[in-house]
Copies of this chain bind each other. A is one copy, B any other.
Amino acid sequence: MARMMKAAIFVEPGRIVLDDKPIPDVGPLDALMRVTTTTICGTDVHILRGEYPVARGLTIGHEPVGVIEKLGSAVTGYSEGQRVIAGAITPSGWSNACLCGTCSQDGAGTRHGWKAMGGWKFGNTIDGCQAEYLLVPDAMANLAPVPDTLGDEQVLMCPDIMSTGFSGAENGGIRIGDTVAVFAQGPIGLCATAGARLSGAGLVIGVDRLPDRLAMARRMGADHVVDSGRLDAVAEIMRLTEGRGVDVAIEALGTQSTFEAALRVLRPGGTLSSLGVYSADLTIPVGAFAAGLGDHRIVTSLCPGGKERMRRLMSVVESGRVDLHAMVTHRFKLDDIERAYELFAHQRDGVLKVAITP
């Protein structure tokens, strides 16, 4: 009989509950990870609310830190007991999308090899990591050993928000001396702020409505912060840049108003790097878009995954370049995950990220 474990399961819109589930079997290319720390993502809240549909009974969560419990028969190069993380996105490595450099759109198993968002499997199309154990597919492409010098919470941001936020800076093509505005300073936006600073931006401007987040934005590298609850963010950014506008604007919320503001502050020839998950059609204002003649670029990113990405992000943490650890504001046992969702979903008590330990 299968051994059982605790897992946070989507039951129906409004209900994610902790329940028993069999510990999964390990296929030849898989690895079973014993989860030691995980967290809740804004996307999980969308799932909780039924705004992003997943199958009933699915285990939620895509940000795992843990220990290898068991390796598939064809997996080499790892040992059981090793501390590892896996990215939120787990590319196969062998799909056409992966071989073409677009791993997050991994279409392994589909006819053509591309699938929109196909690399996002944990807590979306397969069981996730808000559980005692996690089955990692294509383990050799995805398991990244954690350096001994780093604790669980120090690498907890690597699987998703650090990778996502940094990709906003990377895809924006930030050059040394660029001016960058980051719209919204939730966990992703804060990481985008840190990533912009790390990429050589000469001036980083963080925008949000919450004083705690603006304070954290400064800590993550913003030179200026704009309280969009009190000021017109577009006007304020144009003032701060003396009318020049920004070279790169990063959208990190997923709303029309932030998307539009990001476009309005761009200089001609600038890039809008979008990270948000949009839930409705977007409008591009023709004026801000210079009728299509402004040499503007709008680029989108889904969190880069895979073991090499994780290795690089951990090396950045290890070198002390960023301290995202400060974003862990609350800690819960897995047994209390329902309370953690309650707190996180309502953004109570200044919560940024929670650490969940099974």
Contact = CB atoms under 8 A, between A and B. Distances in A.
A297 B295 contact: no
A100 interface: yes
| The 9 A-B residue pairs with the shortest CB-CB distance in the complex, in nearest-first order | A177-B312, A93-B93, A102-B269, A105-B268, A94-B141, A202-B315, A93-B94, A99-B308, A298-B298
Q: How large is the interface on A (under 10, 10 to 19, 20 to 34, 35 or more residues)?
A: 35 or more
18 contacts: A28-B73, A28-B74, A92-B140, A94-B140, A99-B103, A111-B243, A112-B244, A114-B245, A114-B268, A116-B293, A169-B176, A176-B198, A176-B312, A198-B200, A202-B319, A274-B292, A275-B292, A297-B298
A285 interface: yes
A113 interface: yes
A259 to B, nearest CB: 9
A306 B175 contact: no
B286 A279 contact: yes
A77 B108 CA distance: 9
B203 A319 contact: yes
A297 B294 contact: no
Interface in A223-274: 223, 242-245, 254, 267-269, 274
A248 to B, nearest CB: 13
Contacts of A123: none
A294 B117 contact: yes
B294 A285 contact: no
B278 A203 contact: no
A284 B286 contact: no
Contacts of A280: 286
Given A177-B313, A291-B277, A302-B295, A76 B282 contact: no
Given A275-B292, A293-B300, 17 more contacts: A29-B74, A74-B74, A104-B269, A111-B243, A112-B267, A114-B267, A116-B294, A117-B268, A117-B293, A166-B176, A274-B292, A281-B284, A282-B283, A295-B301, A296-B300, A297-B299, A298-B299
B93 A99 contact: yes
A118 B268 CA distance: 9
A199 interface: yes
Contact of A176 (B102, B199, B284): B199
A276 interface: yes
A20 to B, nearest CB: 30
B285 A284 contact: no
